[in-house]
Structure 1
């Protein structure tokens, strides 16, 4: 995996620029840029985080973006982490059932409630579901304080400055940091074992090269989930080891290639073009797919019938990796208790000051949102029944 700096140097006459040029991979500490004027190119997670980090010590940071982006908070509803609130099986079901336009409208309205993306120069032309957002809690704070100034795409460079596509220009720029992604290839593996083209890497379920005579090679972590990559990588490794041991058999090469092409075409339909479009996956859908292959996906119907409390938390609660220790290979006796107490452990790190419980806190022992969730379930099934009853075609939803 190499930074795209060499590709970027060919754009906009960067060879004219006499200041420092680095890729985000080389950035370590902000102190070396003390009191300088910097340009960061690329509004991904790295570009946003580096810009905010630098803005505390530099004279000025300019953040250039070609497309803009939607910005989500790591700290979400009630102060819980974003993935705890939104990456649940219940919400994943709703996202699949509801029309894409409705989900886009709801998500964009919610994000603009915190800060209007248009007023901050970040609003993209694409809708929320058409490209992955970035998690950057501090970026709007840096923009409103003037420490970070949003700029459009770069048109050209001068010896000590830059001209942007809207005609504006900035002089006395000391350094340029490219946060423009990476080009993927495997220099330590023989040519032909893994084929890469335009950052497309044909791997079955993003793990196995389909054309090998024996499944003796697995690639772990080479994908871009909307969510944490660690639980996904763990499930990839658990599945891969079962394949290596001969406990699970891969399908034929043709079947694997058909699955690979299906996923690529799905992403091309769903997302606007981007460098890593072929590597993107939905978190809940993909971990469930891997868990099924490894034989560790929880049986929701069985859980609701035999242990309703646990079934409720598995369905409505965060889709944590502990759910895949309830049954099958690698089953853990402590998984049930870990799942039922996970919310307590999440807030334990923040409750370092004891606060006397109020009446509202006592009442919150029974979560009123549970009623809303139940009604939501009935609403979803009612909509599906209506489509079936009236013979209407279910609207295509690419969430």
Structure 2
């Protein structure tokens, strides 16, 4: 999770805390003297292109409640996709009288003490919340169809359930296997949707079925290349994605990267859609990387002439995922030591680090 030009402090563990991440970002800002360049407490209301290829940005300065308009040469959209929750439609949902939440709202497990909690969704958030809430809850009903989760071992008060078929009454949920369970809280760990409410229609960006278009390499607005998006891909090592994408775009800004013609960029995007379809990837997962992640980074590096991402980074990510699948309770105590750009040593928590497994 660190940027290539500023490694983590040696005191950090392999699995860092939220506080560590915040401290690291503050240290990064101080190291490169970024604070004078950043305007905080500004809510962007509208972004629209001008005739001279520049951008008018309208924003609210919240401390003074003043609306300000300024013109910029480049707009880089970095609002991410972990803010606007996706809530699935559940039959009978209006009957439920307990609390309904999204993983976005979770801060700590205190409010769930002695509760019966239903968690829907088996992505990273679903797994983490199940693990944390089960420390204090009466029981956790973990609703998922994930084959990986089916093999994982959780605390005794975690009950694995299939998908929810409907809500029966004020506290009862029915699952697709016909069983029913009572719960006090439902937490949806069902992901997020892309949202850019501040972009004027004249920007030419559309979000349709989870796909942002028209973009080249999931980054550059094909029609207006002085606008780009950082961090759209999902199932990625996020900070590494930000790092590589930003370096790529900076090469365009300084003139060392020459973009193909509009026609060629559109064709490249269509070729990728076709290629993904042939691999069985549904159209609404166009920005998903997963096993395609290293190839994506390598393609960006090759086109922009930047240093490729060391393969050890994603090797560690995959090794961590394997450890999570086999030891969900303890894998965050593992330690990884990087040897070089291709190799690392894994110290597993179970053996308290006296021995190591070299990969």
Q: TM-score, normalised by structure 2?
A: 0.62
Q: Which has the higher contact order (CA 8 A, sep 6+)?
A: 1
Correspondence for 2:124: 45
Matches within 5 A, 1:279-358: 279-280=288-289, 282-297=292-307, 318=312, 340=340
Larger helix percent:
1
Residues 118-159 of structure 1 deviation map (CA, whole Å, 9 limit, x = unaligned): xx4xxxxxxxxxxxxxxxxxxx231xx422211111111121
SS for the counterpart of 1:218 is strand
Matches within 5 A, 1:139-158: 140-142=152-154, 145-157=155-167, 158=169
> Structure 1 residues 239 and 39 mapped into 2: Cα distance closer, same or farther (>3 Å)?
same
Partner Cα distance (2:348, 2:161) in 1: 38
Runs of 4+ deviating beyond 4 Å? 341-344, 346-350
Structure 2 residue runs of 5 or longer lacking an equivalent are: 1-80, 316-337
> Structure 1 residues 61 and 26 mapped into 2: Cα distance closer, same or farther (>3 Å)?
same
Q: How much does 1:287 deviate?
A: 1.1
Correspondence for 1:78: none
Alignment partner of 1:179 out of 180, 189, 193: 189
Q: TM-score, normalised by structure 1?
A: 0.56
Tell which structure's C-alpha radius of gyration is larger: 1
SS for the counterpart of 2:299 is helix
Matches within 5 A, 1:228-307: 228-271=237-280, 273=282, 276-280=285-289, 282-297=292-307
Structure 1 residue runs of 5 or longer lacking an equivalent are: 72-116, 121-139, 299-313, 322-337, 370-399
Q: How much does 1:340 deviate?
A: 3.5
Q: Does 1:29 align with 2:39?
A: no
| CA RMSD between the two structures | 3.2
Partner Cα distance (1:16, 1:242) in 2: 55
Correspondence for 1:197: 208
Q: Does 1:3 align with 2:85?
A: yes
Is contact 1:41–1:179 with CA below 8 Å preserved after alignment? yes
Q: Does 1:68 align with 2:112?
A: no
Partner Cα distance (1:154, 1:348) in 2: 39
